[in-house]
Amino acid sequence: MAARILVHRLGKTLEQAEEWISPRLENILDPFTLLHCEEAAARLTQFLREKKSIGVFSDYDVDGISSAALISCAIRDLGGEVEAFVPDRLEEGYGLSIAALERSFADYQPDLLLVLDCGTRSEVELEWIAKQGTQVIVVDHHSRNDQPKLPEDCLMINPHLPEQLQPEFQNHCTVGLVFKLVHALLRKWDECVGGARDRVNLKELLDLVAMGTVADLVPLRGENRVFVHHGLKQLAKTNNHGLRALLQVSDVDVNNPLSSSDIGFRLGPRINAGGRIETGALALDLLMTKDNRLAFDLARKLDTVNSNRRSMERRVSGKAIEMIGEEPPMGIVVWDRDWHPGVVGIVAGRLARKYHRPAIVLGWDGTGFKGSGRGISGLDLLEVMQTCTVKPPKWGGHPAAMGMSIEEEDLPAFAEAFSAAVTSECGGKLPPKKLRIDAVTEPSAISRHEILEIEALGPFGQENPEPIVAIHGVRLEEPARLMGRDHIRFNLPGASGIQVIGWRMAERMPPVGSEIDLALRLSRSWWRGRESVRGELVDWRQAEPLPS
């Protein structure tokens, strides 16, 4: 089954298939081929040798936090003085802002500032930094249509800029680019001083690279696949005190093989929860601490914040569904003053999947409404916004996701215009909901051996999703059982001891007695040291004839 999936999905030759299944570290690209990376590494080396102070400013999501922790740890291991900062989401907003810079510079004004996972669209803020007498290196993966005008002593590493386009690096998130910079830094250090590898082990930093790469949903191809394949192995034996504590409070058993799902659904949400609900400094301190006791204190606090975040999401989702009612508009826009802006993006994604239409959810930040939008396959959210006759004063994003700010009095008109723009963009008919099936099998054919072969196609993620297997003509012999309020489970008929879990499927309970088709993700699971094969229910339908 796995061989068919590999050929049909990727069209790989035998040699390419071997590299896909066993990506090798020696195949990573020369960091000096990344534009401005060698120059930035030389400047960092100079500042370290001259014992000058270095600051790090990053975004507060997993990519930004991982980037800041990675380069800060490398700088400290090389004997440098470094302090790292993240903005306060509610008080200072996303990315570089004068308010966030003034706060960080009041505590610590460095000779050199590294700006990570933001800064590409921040010419005013970069000029402000330059006027303070601080040099800047920006490392970012966000795009813009024109080349930014940078201060004289500012370097920018970004393979998406019009004059710096490098397709081989365009799938990297910021932590991947920062890893290239650290690699280049070690080479420059060896040229000038020597002994860099005795101080910094590049391979041991791959756990942080895997964290940001998986959580930022960049394509797991090329170097990213190498990073995550080896980063997951490093994560299982990590030397990072914070990651060790986070693994433990997240109930991730490192004695079993780790997968990208462990980052995407367990570790990543806890890191993100700090920036969403309280402060990203919690997660940054966690990943940078050398104190084991402090690491567990911070990890437990993030776990509590994440539990609060989930409670907020459930409350906002329930209220939003009530507001939408039985006949949702073509484009959904919902808002409430009681909703925390830190959870609206996740709720928007949930609504977009539930109703199969673009959804924007907004919450009150104390001065105005801030929100996030999520799109659906086959409909470009940015094109919808471009044709929308009522535009918010601040908005931007990607074809599948966007953020915005708007005044309360403008929301009703915007909601109506957004729905009209969706209708216009799709010609009055939303693109059909499609589910890609990678293979068809029988319950009796599912075995541990088949699952191991499927797992070898991982790590799974963006542009390499977990394979979905179809099973036709299944007849449930007894009702599925509820797990909590939202989830279900049942035994797969015709298979020996395979349990199927349906997350958030309580509203769509499969029927008993009639033939149905199942779409499943198959994997191994562990409970109290015992391994079993499990199916995750992706979808079901009344049985249909197989195509001839």
Question: What pLDDT was estimated at residue 218?
Answer: 92
Question: What pLDDT was estimated at residue 12?
Answer: 63
Q: Distance of CA 479 to CAs 174, 489, 499, 501, 540, Å?
A: 47, 9, 13, 13, 15
20 token code pair = 């896909």
Question: What pLDDT was estimated at residue 10?
Answer: 67
**Which candidate, 72, 74, 73, 78, places its Cα nearest to that of 51?**
78
Own/partner contacts of 131-134, CB < 8 Å, gap of 24 or more, are 132/105, 134/55, 134/105, 134/109, 134/110
Residue indicated by tokens 């329930």: 318
Q: What is the dihedral of CA 236, 240, 246, 251, to 10 degrees?
A: 20
Q: Phi first, then psi: what are they for 274, rounded to 5°?
A: -60, -50
Q: Please state the domain extents for the chain.
A: 2-19+30-302, 325-425, 439-542
Bridge partners (DSSP) listed for residue 532: 525
Residue 143 CA to residue 120 CA, distance in Å, equals 7
pLDDT profile of the chain (548 residues), mean per 10: 75 73 91 97 97 96 97 96 91 86 95 96 96 97 88 94 89 97 97 89 97 94 96 98 98 94 96 89 96 98 96 96 96 97 94 96 93 93 93 85 93 97 94 90 92 92 93 93 93 91 92 94 87 94 81
Residue 350 CA to residue 330 CA, distance in Å, equals 16
Provide CB contacts within 8 A for 301, sequence distance 6+. Answer: 282
Question: What pLDDT was estimated at residue 297?
Answer: 98
> Whole-prediction pTM value?
0.91
Q: What is the CATH number of domain 325-425?
A: 3.10.310.30
Please name the CATH architecture into which domain 439-542 falls: Beta Barrel (2.40)
CB 482 within 8 A of CB 503: no
Residue 318 CA to residue 339 CA, distance in Å, equals 12
The H-or-E segment that residue 541 falls in is: strand 530-542
Tell whether the torsion through CA atoms of 155, 160, 163 and 166 is positive or negative: positive
Q: Phi first, then psi: what are they for 14, rounded to 5°?
A: -60, -45
Residue 95 CA to residue 515 CA, distance in Å, equals 52
Looking at the domain covering 2-19+30-302, what would its CATH class be? alpha beta
Query: What secondary structure letter does DSSP report for 167?
Result: G
Q: Which amino acid is at 38?
A: E
Strand 369-374 versus strand 401-406 pairing type: antiparallel
